[in-house]
A and B are shown apart, each in its own frame.
Chain A
């Protein structure tokens, strides 16, 4: 068994990131569902979709939920359903974070969450020539 992973983002951002991570890693990333939140049509209805997806992937080891912008609706809705679930949310998803998470898939939920943050931050650098 391994930790469940769910991606909740504005629109299709999550699906696109997942597709590119699969390209980089050269393999299919199994069982990472994405929830595409639509601000206009979803509203609070997104709560049920997110809750159901978190429960769907939790095989007993908990669920890591990756979201995009802190304080925005996808992240705010996820934070509302964390209560009552063995789940951790990490905001600020990027490709670096996603690849790092997948490489530590067999570790504990808390460990992977820390790895996600470090992977995400490490992928953000200032470069100049």
Chain B
């Protein structure tokens, strides 16, 4: 299992469409993806789970990936978040 902390930097935070992109990204991999915000942790392949994080800009999330393709999974998720979910701002 590997993990990394990433900060939400897009202007609108982790809103519905961004959450969908995150879940689509996580679901491409076999590894289990767990996302933690503070003491709360959710399944990174569940849209409702991701939405209930209500992660606004500036929020730190701990992304955990566990499985055969964990390195690629973690890398892809971190890249998506750092690329502001492709929103440009």
Contacts and interface: CB of A to CB of B under 8 A. Distances in A.
Contacts of B14: 71
| Chain A interface main SS type | helix
A53 interface: no
Nearest to A68: B16
Contacts of B52: 70-71
A71 B12 CA distance: 11
B56 interface: yes
A73 B55 CA distance: 11
Contact of A73 (B12, B50, B53): B12
For the side of the interface on B, what is the size category?
Answer: 10 to 19
Contacts, number: 37
Interface of B: 11-17, 19, 50-56
Contacts of B11: 43-44
Given A71-B50, A72-B51, A80-B56, A44 B16 contact: no
A70 B15 contact: no
Interface string A71-85: 111011001100000
A62 B15 CA distance: 27
A112 B19 CA distance: 30
